[in-house]
């Protein structure tokens, strides 16, 4: 392979790679504003200037292709002076408003100003004034005075979102970004421009002025908006989720996520409708109870019904671990009827990230499906039998969407209904027992996405159950799970538990405990029963997931 030398290090590279790509792959950082690995090269910020032997002028690393034998210096005296000059030029008209800018703490310009700028301006003239607080669309706000004209947002809209709605207008130091005439920046992926904006020119209208980045914790997780399972960071302050941002994963979502996943998939976690503790129906109303009473009542009622009078409805919104423990409980009771609920909206997907299946774990729920008496039950068939009175007891795992009206009408005729829910909804109105389930942001677990990639979720928000887990647990041990103590010092904590843990407690009440103490133990139990999950644990899944199966799989792979 051809070789290039950068700052004295001889490196191999592939034909067609630029200097900045080779450097980035080998851990050598070259400062830049306009370059992004998933966007075309514009070369207009000049921040990535480097010194290359046999080239008389400094060359920008983003558009200079590596050649065999090339020698590059990224820290020479001439390069440092050039960067200082570029920074001085950019800062001539840039406002000094870091104290009120949402980008503070994540801003390339702020970082580079400390590292490469002169520390003070030689310019005494008044700065150029441009439009401020301009709503480009329903989700993105623009401040033209902060904009450094890197064109990242324009290129993203054109090349990635395939919806060119942005452009430069005016000339010289009066240039700024605007939408095309009679257009609004309302693309389903518009908020990715906020992430890739290297300064504070583009901000999220949903997150604007809510918190400083250093006041929040961030935890790696997975978006639950659809079966794509985009990798995200969950940002929390005072035990309340403030925002989701995309996390890089080349095999799933690259650097992006949709606006719906970013703004609509987490607000239920801290909503007023959260189920806070177990509830039992008395006199046709749900009243607050306790765990012992709710578990005892559920065990007692389930024992009353015959296997062919009991139905289990699993969920594509619950984790692999939750669904596996649910299937084990159905087997324990020899239930004849078992299916799972998903949520597909035909025509709602696209060819970028969004899928028609709006559940994060439909493939996982299908793969661990319990086949009662060798028969895979149809959900409509189950609810028809409930309506006819043939099925009398129904146990329903987490559902993020309400059932159809005919399903709710059928549940009204059941003798006993137990539901795991994060929030009160129309479904919980028909329940005799409501168990408070931890949300995706409050538990460990895994989801199997549409492409068969198994991915981890971790707790970012504390519950009462997690607080109990912290008692007597050394900080060093807790750190290995990727969480911190300080994020939970303040804020409301709900009395909720992971569904697998609730089910394990219920199995103990039925006289056949599962003896699971962690979600990873549930997964390891699944590996012994399903070859698709063989030899897996959380370390094996890692931070970006592991592909375990293709979309199509044989009946033999299902338990």
The arithmetic mean of pLDDT across residues 174-191, rounded, is: 94
Say if 244 falls within a structural domain. no
Provide the CB-side half-sphere exposure for 144 (13 A, CA): 20
Residue 341 has pLDDT above 50, yes or no: yes
Say if 142 falls within a structural domain. yes
Say if 456 falls within a structural domain. yes
Query: Is the same domain home to 406 and 547?
Result: yes
- Domain span at 199: 98-209
Query: Is the same domain home to 346 and 364?
Result: yes
Residue 29 has pLDDT above 90, yes or no: yes
The torsion angles phi and psi of 544, rounded to 5 degrees, stand at: -120, 10
What is d(CA 414, CA 419) in angstroms, rounded to the nearest whole number? 13
What is d(CA 240, CA 341) in angstroms, rounded to the nearest whole number? 29
Q: How many CB atoms sit inside 10 A of residue 195's CB?
A: 17
Say if 130 falls within a structural domain. yes
What is d(CA 318, CA 440) in angstroms, rounded to the nearest whole number? 8
**Dihedral sign computed on CA atoms, order 347, 348, 354, 360:** negative
Helix axes 291-304, 499-509, angle to 10 degrees: 60
Say if 429 falls within a structural domain. yes
Number of domains in the chain: 3
Q: Which of 192, 209, 226 is the last residue of a domain?
A: 209
- Do residues 194 and 140 lie in contact, with contact meaning Cβ atoms separated by under 8 Å? yes
- Do residues 514 and 324 lie in contact, with contact meaning Cβ atoms separated by under 8 Å? no
Residue 215 has pLDDT above 50, yes or no: yes
Structure tokens at 219: 């935890």
The partner residues of 497 in beta bridges, in order of sequence, read 437
What is d(CA 155, CA 177) in angstroms, rounded to the nearest whole number? 12
Query: Is the same domain home to 113 and 195?
Result: yes
Task: Find the CATH number of the domain harbouring 57.
Answer: 3.10.20.740
Per-residue confidence (pLDDT) for residue 108, from 0 to 100:
93
Say if 243 falls within a structural domain. no
What is d(CA 155, CA 39) in angstroms, rounded to the nearest whole number? 7
- Do residues 319 and 519 lie in contact, with contact meaning Cβ atoms separated by under 8 Å? yes
What is d(CA 325, CA 310) in angstroms, rounded to the nearest whole number? 17
Q: Read off the pLDDT of residues 32-71 as tens digits, 9 standing for 90 and up.
A: 999 999 999 999 999 999 999 999 999 999 999 999 999 9
Q: Is 550 helix (H, G, I), strand (E, B) or coil?
A: coil
Q: Read off the pLDDT of residues 436-460 as tens digits, 9 standing for 90 and up.
A: 999 999 999 999 999 999 999 999 9
Per-residue confidence (pLDDT) for residue 558, from 0 to 100:
41
**Dihedral sign computed on CA atoms, order 322, 327, 332, 338:** positive
- Beta-sheet strand order (sheet of 445-448): 445-448, 453-457, 546-547
The arithmetic mean of pLDDT across residues 299-303, rounded, is: 96
Query: Is the same domain home to 32 and 62?
Result: yes
- Do residues 96 and 192 lie in contact, with contact meaning Cβ atoms separated by under 8 Å? no
Task: Find the CATH number of the domain harbouring 183.
Answer: 3.30.70.20
Q: What end-to-end distance do the CA atoms of the chain give, in Å?
A: 48
Query: Is the same domain home to 157 and 26?
Result: no
Q: Read off the pLDDT of residues 518-530 as tens digits, 9 standing for 90 and up.
A: 999 999 999 998 8
Q: Which of 162, 192, 209 is the last residue of a domain?
A: 209
Task: Find the CATH number of the domain harbouring 372.
Answer: 3.40.50.740
Which of 324-338, 370-384, 390-404, 471-485 shows the lowest per-residue confidence on average (mean pLDDT)? 471-485
Query: Is the same domain home to 403 and 506?
Result: yes
Q: Which of 209, 225, 258 is the last residue of a domain?
A: 209
355: left (phi over 0), alpha (psi -120 to 50) or beta: beta
Query: Is the same domain home to 124 and 39?
Result: no
Query: Is the same domain home to 295 and 397?
Result: yes
Say if 478 falls within a structural domain. no
Query: Is the same domain home to 332 and 406?
Result: yes
In this prediction, residue 396 has a pLDDT band, given cuts at 50, 70 and 90, of: very high
Q: How far is CA 545 from its chain centroid?
A: 13
Query: Is the same domain home to 153 and 198?
Result: yes
Q: Is 246 helix (H, G, I), strand (E, B) or coil?
A: strand
What is d(CA 299, CA 513) in angstroms, rounded to the nearest whole number? 12
Say if 239 falls within a structural domain. no
Query: Is the same domain home to 197 and 310?
Result: no
pTM exceeds 0.75: yes
Query: Is the same domain home to 191 and 286?
Result: no
Interior angle at CA 433, CA 507 and CA 342, nearest 5: 80
């Amino acid at each position: 392979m051809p070789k290039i030398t950068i700052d004295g290090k001889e490196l191999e590279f592939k034909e067609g790679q630029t200097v900045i790509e080779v450097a980035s792959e080998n851990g050598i950082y070259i400062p830049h504003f306009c370059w992004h690995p998933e966007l075309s090269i514009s070369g207009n910020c000049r921040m990535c200037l480097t010194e290359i032997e046999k080239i008389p002028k400094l060359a920008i690393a983003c558009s200079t292709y590596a050649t065999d034998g090339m020698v590059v210096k990224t820290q020479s005296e001439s390069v440092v002076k050039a960067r200082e000059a570029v920074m001085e030029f950019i800062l001539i008209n840039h406002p000094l408003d870091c104290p009120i800018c949402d980008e503070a703490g994540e801003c390339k310009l702020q970082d580079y100003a400390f590292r490469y700028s002169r520390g003070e301006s030689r310019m005494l003239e008044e700065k150029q004034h441009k439009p401020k607080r301009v709503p480009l669309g329903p989700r993105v706000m623009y401040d033209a005075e902060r904009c450094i004209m890197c064109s990242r947002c324009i290129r993203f809209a054109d090349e990635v979102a395939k919806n060119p709605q942005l452009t430069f207008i005016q000339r010289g130091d009066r240039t700024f970004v605007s939408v095309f005439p009679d257009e609004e920046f309302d693309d389903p992926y518009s908020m990715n421009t906020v992430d890739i904006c290297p300064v504070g020119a583009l901000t999220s209208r949903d997150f604007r002025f809510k918190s400083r980045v250093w006041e929040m914790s961030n935890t790696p997780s997975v978006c639950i908006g659809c079966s794509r399972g985009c990798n995200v960071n969950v940002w929390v302050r005072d035990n309340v989720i403030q925002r989701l941002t995309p996390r890089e994963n080349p095999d799933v979502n690259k650097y992006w996520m949709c606006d719906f996943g970013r703004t609509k998939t987490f607000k239920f976690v801290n909503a007023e409708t959260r189920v806070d503790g177990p509830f039992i129906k008395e006199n046709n109303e749900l009243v607050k109870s306790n765990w012992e009473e709710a578990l005892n009542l559920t065990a007692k009622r389930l024992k009353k019904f015959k296997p062919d009078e009991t139905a289990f409805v699993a969920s594509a919104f619950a984790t692999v671990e939750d669904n596996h423990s649910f299937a084990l409980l159905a087997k324990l009771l020899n239930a004849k009827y078992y299916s799972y609920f998903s949520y597909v909206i035909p025509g709602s997907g696209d060819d970028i990230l969004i899928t028609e299946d709006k559940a994060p774990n439909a493939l996982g729920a299908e793969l661990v499906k319990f086949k009662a008496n060798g028969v895979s039950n149809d959900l409509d068939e189950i609810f028809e039998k409930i309506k006819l009175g043939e099925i009398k007891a129904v146990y329903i795992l987490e559902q993020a969407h309400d059932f159809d009206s005919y399903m709710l009408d059928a549940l009204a005729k059941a003798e006993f209904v137990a539901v795991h829910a994060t929030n009160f909804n129309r479904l919980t109105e028909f329940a005799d027992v409501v168990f408070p389930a931890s949300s995706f942001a409050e538990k460990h677990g895994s989801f199997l996405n549409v492409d068969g990639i198994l991915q981890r979720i971790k707790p970012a928000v504390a519950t009462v159950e997690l607080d109990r887990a912290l008692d007597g647990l050394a900080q060093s041990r807790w750190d290995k799970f990727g969480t911190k103590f300080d994020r939970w010092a303040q804020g409301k904590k709900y009395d909720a538990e992971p569904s697998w843990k609730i089910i394990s407690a219920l199995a103990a009440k039925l006289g056949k405990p599962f003896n699971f103490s962690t979600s990873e133990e549930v997964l390891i139990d699944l590996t012994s029963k399903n070859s698709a999950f063989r030899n897996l644990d959380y370390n094996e899944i890692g931070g970006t997931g592991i592909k375990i199966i293709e979309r199509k799989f044989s009946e033999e792979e299902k338990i």
